[in-house]
Structure 1
Amino acid sequence: MTQPTPNPFLQPSTLPFELPPFAEIEEAHYLPAFEAGMAEQLTEIAAITGDPAAATFENTLVALERTGQLLRRVSLVFFNKVSSDSTPALRELDAEISPRLAAHTDAIQLDPALFARIDAVHARRGELDLDEADQRLLERWHTRFVRGGARLDEAGQARLRELNAELATLGTTFEQNLFAATRAAALVLDSAEELAGLPDGAIAAAAENAQALGHDGKYVLSLKSFSNQTELASLSDPKLRLRLLDASLARGLEDNGPLAVTMAELRAERARLLGFPSHAAYEVADQTAGTTEAVESMLGRLVGPAVANADREGAALAETAGVPAVAAADWQFLSEQVRKERYEVDGAQMRPYLELESVLRRGVFHAAGLVYGVTFHERPELVSYHPDSRVFEVREADGRPIGLFIGDFFARESKRGGAWMDSVVEQSHLLGQLPVVVNNLNIAKPPAGEPALLSWDEVRTLFHEFGHALHGLFSDVKYPSQYMEVPRDFVEYPSQVNEMWQEWPEVFENYARHHETGEPMSPALVERVREAQNFGEGFRTVEYLAATLLDWAWHTTPDGEGAGDAESFEAAALQRYGLAHPSIPPRYRTGYFAHVFAGGWYAAGYYGYIWSEVLDADTVEWFKEPGRTIRDNGETFRRVLLSPGGTADPMTAFATFRGRAPEIQPLLERRGLEG
């Protein structure tokens, strides 16, 4: 009988930076590690609550921070793996373990003895000699327990447990349905001629994708996570464009629509149980926005100007095409024609200057060195979780280690759509750990030996996700729970700021070079690209606002009632908000709105992207002010806003950094909404 291999999760990794020993991890290791980790943490919690000594900050809050290390190790690795390199067995385990983890969290946050100790320390907080980080830790744990139902009666807590378990199950089911629906909706084409208009590299990638999916000799266009697929800008055949958009918009609705209705109802019930009128009110109360009125005021200010801007763009497109109105499937294609004619910008013309390796090393890494003084050193001897993912050691200017960065850039059948940042080790001084962060993108993988040539939007995504990575790498917190612990409507701020370096002259000139000749891209072309991007700002703002207010509608409906079927609810919501634009579908429709329904991290929080962009646009103006060096600016930004994590109030930190509260005018100017 084959003996099982030792479970590598049971002990801390001995690899550099405690990089998980991916080469040793087998699928059979996850479930036993989860079960051992949950049992271990409950034993550790029992030791805290069983301590006969009076509750103190050290024996309660610090002790709580030390619990769950095994569970944290396996969870970080598993949930990165199930998103970026999934298998049927891992998805099955995800469905099993998610409700069990929700129940485990409830077992801790609804433990009356543990809350009594936290509450006792919190009641004496004015008498304790705590520094700012300790005070924040105490406040956040107390708030987390109260918001998690610690003050509910026995019946209320029992119902809360049921709701949390059911929502965890439904969220995992939604994600797995979407995984299957996205792959089923991929377009399989017989010939390269059908893909006329796409760059040669994109056609080759479609052939490579077909082979990987078992369609040898054919071409496959797999769907990205959002509505308007990137190929719509290039495909010459209007019928194929319509097929592609229809496939994108319809996916997931049949199976996930009813789930969305149920989840909205359950979230509304949970919010009411906890004393809030809606799930949105519950969520926003713990964000920088504070109230639903503040969110609605900001969004309401943007809708009218955005629609007017988009309508002006649509009129220009209709004139170009000689039609009375532009169909949704044709908008991106016609926009590309206008950019070529009016601004002399051709997306295909740019790609040879935007080769992945150059953008990564001479762009993204170079910008980080320019602004923060850090360096990147590839460590090919360190094994990651997939052959395509690469490991880099990150060091300070003086050589001190910061952490590891894992770059996983290519799309594959086992990876979910979109782009995101994860951590597989989280920084904390208490546990003596440095961060190991991951960036996942979905760039089409070229045939072996061919360069990966990016679109301008893919370059922006690379810079954006690396902003999240820097947020994790620069974390400088004492306690594990304070790692990157910022409100959800603030978390996109560092990543959006990092996008500015994409066009910063010193950075752009370094990476935007022809992959064969080394010739730099013309600065005049960049300026035309910027003007062309401004032309599409109305469209982008409307599609974003439509998704944002769709999320908002799902989570502000009293008690979740009146949703009916998802498609009808969606249509009514967009009509009510003035965003039922016939030519501009929401960036995400309900059936594939994973941000909101798969796990729920952005439920009633998708507004956070544009809320954070107010801070971002204001910060970009600060970086451009004369009188300071880029390195000085970078050090200030890193110290005040990137490193503190959960040790400081983020809006107080922003006011310290900027010398005042944020102003919305830079955002309005950026998006062409001044009027």
Structure 2
Amino acid sequence: MTENPFFAPSALPYHLPPFAEIREEHYAPAFERGMAEQLAEVEAIAGSDQPPTFDNTVAALERSGRLLDRVSAVFFNQASSDTNPTVQEIQKDVTPKLTKHSDAIHLDRRLFARIRAIPADGLDAEERRLLDRYVTDFVRAGAELEPADQERLKVLNEELSTLSTRFEQNLLAAMNAAAIVVDDVAELDGLSEDAVKAAAESARSRGLDGKYVLTLVLPTGQPAMEELADRALRERIHRASTERGLAENSELVLRIAKLRAERAALLGYANHAEYVVADQTAPGTRAVTEMLAKLTPAAVANAHREAEDLREEAGFAIEAWDWSFYAEKVRATRYAIDSRQMRPYFELDRVLRDGVFHAAGKLYGLQFTERPDLSGYHPDVRVFEVAEEDGSPLGLFLGDFYARPSKRGGAWMNSLVKQSALEGVKPVVVNNLNIVKPPAGEPTLMTWEQVNTMFHEFGHALHGLFSDVRFPRFSGTSVPRDFVEYPSQVNEMWATWPEILANYARHFETGEPMPQDLVDRMLESGKFNQGYATVEYLAATLLDWAWHTLTEEPVDAQEFERRALREAGVDLPLVPPRYRSTYFAHIWAGGYSAGYYSYIWSEVLDADTVEWFKESGGLTRENGDTFRRELLSKGGSVDAMTAFRAFRGRDPRIEPLLERRGLL
């Protein structure tokens, strides 16, 4: 297939993948050739009769596999953002092959011996770090195991990759099947007008004209439940949400947890959590366990106090599906505010341009130009060129903001092209959200949570765009899992920064700014319901931790989950985990296994950094340049906590986080 667009680097600006030319039949041949090419490149390195040097071994490995990188970036982005049965079949076929391919490289004893033999003398700091990372990567991949153990490891890795793909695809199907169909608009009483129109559009897109469809978001809590007055409908939504994947994924999670435990033991670790944390910024599993234990009692106590307020407001013993509805009523009473008041001031394009982009311009001097001449991978995707203050090119940013049945739930950032001085390429990054698309011609009005998510994901995008490293291995967000959320959480602070908020929070019809008293009440309510928010997060985190610190093999996923939550002290019937086991995509299919703690771990750094920004003058170019230089540009080229200390001048303090969460 000589015209396969993956076979040569893209000729488009910034090497943007040529999406207009890419067809599904291009993927399999590109994967096959890409793996074959890299194996040939690796064989030339491993079989060389030249003494091993940094350039002919480690740098050569960094240069290898370019075709495989190109097709992988595009394919797995589509598998998450716009899948279909053909893509899913390719994914099932290629995922275990890629696992075998990785094992073939990392378990090559000749190659590992060459890496181990490279002298560090004469290497610069980034080269020494890359050499050290390669040794660590190979050891963690099993390079030092005996041959029989390596063979068993290959079997485990292949099955785990297959099971993770099945989990992801099962969950997408379960989420689409669980969407709530409503026949009578009267049942939607309380839902905002734009949300009702969006539900009608969702129904129409499914061939259900005249009906209304409420699609599910990935977390347990569903946004519509804040507004829906119909208690029976709220219960329907809650049960649909919490029962996702029970039939399809219960046995899968048992099997995945078992295999991960066996793999960890094979590699010399007590459990999978110990294996994961050994390569993170946390000093060990005990430190993670102690932090979670420190946060849990105060958060649970706060949630119990909040529940009493809700019971008083409702006048009866509430259930889990009542919490968000009555929380909004208490919020309205306490702060004279509700979510419907705010939505008209959060129109998507204005939030993006006058909020997210404006903040990046003020802080970092960035300029954004939409490029309709460049195609994304779906008609909804928008492409923006990003330039420095002086006009010099930085990279491309793609925004994919709308939900669709072919897209997995949640929000995330992907890199389509990773910055690397070695390869002479600039970054191309994409943000995915899941906002329900309104009918054509109607404005997209966002919830406050969606606004915050847009700022959060753009923090990841900045981490990718500002990458200034030599080697692809260190590019952008290639940092420890419990550090990667830190820059994105910091970027959330600008959503409420007065100058930025005033610039984007304007009524979609009149252009009038959000009234100051409404702004004040919105900000004042920021700590409201934090007990619930913290407990639902901690419950998911502790559930992840329980699955990956197994002392015995569970036989029933639901019973294991109930026992784990009870033993951790977070089995609150009114506050279910943010994710239950059978739809916890982060840990079974998303790279966060034994790592969901990273959000709160990173938030310690984030809250401390927000304090620094405020103490240092806030939204200034000097502050932005400092944060960019010391942290965002470094990627994985320096130790993560060393970079933090260089920026902050000391170790992080936990008190700002406790204050933010109302846990002091």
For 1:175 and 1:332, the matched residues in 2 are separated by 28
Matches within 5 A, 1:202-217: 202-217=195-210
Whether the 8 Å contact between 2:616 and 2:623 is mirrored in structure 1 is no
- Report the CA distance between 1:213 and its aligned residue: 1.5
- Report the CA distance between 1:320 and its aligned residue: 1.0
Q: Which residue of 1 aligns with 2:175?
A: 182
Q: Which residue of 2 aligns with 1:425?
A: 417
Q: Which residue of 1 aligns with 2:623?
A: 633
Q: Tell me which amino acid in the other structure corresponds to 1:563.
A: P
Q: Which residue of 1 aligns with 2:122?
A: 129
For 2:643 and 2:636, the matched residues in 1 are separated by 11
- Partner SS, residue 23 of structure 1: coil
For 1:87 and 1:582, the matched residues in 2 are separated by 37
For 1:300 and 1:275, the matched residues in 2 are separated by 26
| CA distances 1:300-329 after superposition (whole Å, capped 9, x unpaired) | 100000000111111111111122x32100
1:514 pairs with 507, 513, 516, which one?
507
For 2:364 and 2:159, the matched residues in 1 are separated by 45
For 1:646 and 1:74, the matched residues in 2 are separated by 23
Q: Which residue of 1 aligns with 2:574?
A: 583
Q: Which residue of 1 aligns with 2:312?
A: 319
Matches within 5 A, 1:551-562: 551-558=544-551, 561-562=552-553
| TM norm structure 1 | 0.97
- Corresponding position: 1:31 with 2:28: yes
Q: Which residue of 2 aligns with 1:241?
A: 234
1:88 pairs with 85, 92, 114, which one?
85
Whether the 8 Å contact between 1:501 and 1:507 is mirrored in structure 2 is yes
Matches within 5 A, 1:331-370: 331-370=323-362
Equivalent pairs counted in the alignment come to: 663
Q: Where do 5+ consecutive residues of structure 2 fail to align?
A: none
Change (3 A) 1:620 1:350: same
- Corresponding position: 1:594 with 2:591: no
Change (3 A) 1:5 1:188: farther
Q: Which residue of 2 aligns with 1:671?
A: 661
For 2:99 and 2:522, the matched residues in 1 are separated by 47
Change (3 A) 1:626 1:176: closer
Matches within 5 A, 1:252-401: 252-323=245-316, 325-401=317-393
- Report the CA distance between 1:524 and its aligned residue: 2.2
- Corresponding position: 1:650 with 2:640: yes
For 1:389 and 1:318, the matched residues in 2 are separated by 44
Identity %: 61
- Report the CA distance between 1:514 and its aligned residue: 0.5
1:479 pairs with 471, 474, 479, which one?
471
Change (3 A) 1:225 1:628: closer
- Corresponding position: 1:138 with 2:128: no
Whether the 8 Å contact between 1:233 and 1:332 is mirrored in structure 2 is yes
Whether the 8 Å contact between 1:136 and 1:646 is mirrored in structure 2 is no
For 1:166 and 1:191, the matched residues in 2 are separated by 46
- Report the CA distance between 1:235 and its aligned residue: 0.5
Q: Tell me which amino acid in the other structure corresponds to 1:625.
A: E
- Report the CA distance between 1:628 and its aligned residue: 7.3
- Partner SS, residue 406 of structure 1: strand
Runs of 4+ more than 3 Å apart: 626-629
Q: Tell me which amino acid in the other structure corresponds to 2:444.
A: A
Whether the 8 Å contact between 1:197 and 1:235 is mirrored in structure 2 is yes
For 1:182 and 1:394, the matched residues in 2 are separated by 35
Q: Which residue of 2 aligns with 1:460?
A: 452
- Partner SS, residue 456 of structure 2: helix
- Corresponding position: 1:114 with 2:107: no
- Partner SS, residue 236 of structure 1: coil
- Report the CA distance between 1:509 and its aligned residue: 0.3
For 1:105 and 1:167, the matched residues in 2 are separated by 14
- Report the CA distance between 1:562 and its aligned residue: 3.1
Q: Which residue of 2 aligns with 1:167?
A: 160
- Report the CA distance between 1:5 and its aligned residue: 7.5
| CA distances 1:42-94 after superposition (whole Å, capped 9, x unpaired) | 00001101211110111100000000000000000000011111111001111
For 2:245 and 2:275, the matched residues in 1 are separated by 27
| CA distances 1:99-148 after superposition (whole Å, capped 9, x unpaired) | 11011000000011100101111xx32xx111111111011111000000
| TM norm structure 2 | 0.99
| CA distances 1:139-163 after superposition (whole Å, capped 9, x unpaired) | 1111000000000000000000000
Of 515-524 and 101-110, more deviation after overlay is shown by 515-524
For 2:439 and 2:542, the matched residues in 1 are separated by 40
Whether the 8 Å contact between 1:471 and 1:642 is mirrored in structure 2 is yes
- Partner SS, residue 647 of structure 1: coil
- Report the CA distance between 1:522 and its aligned residue: 1.7
- Corresponding position: 1:612 with 2:597: no
- Partner SS, residue 416 of structure 2: strand
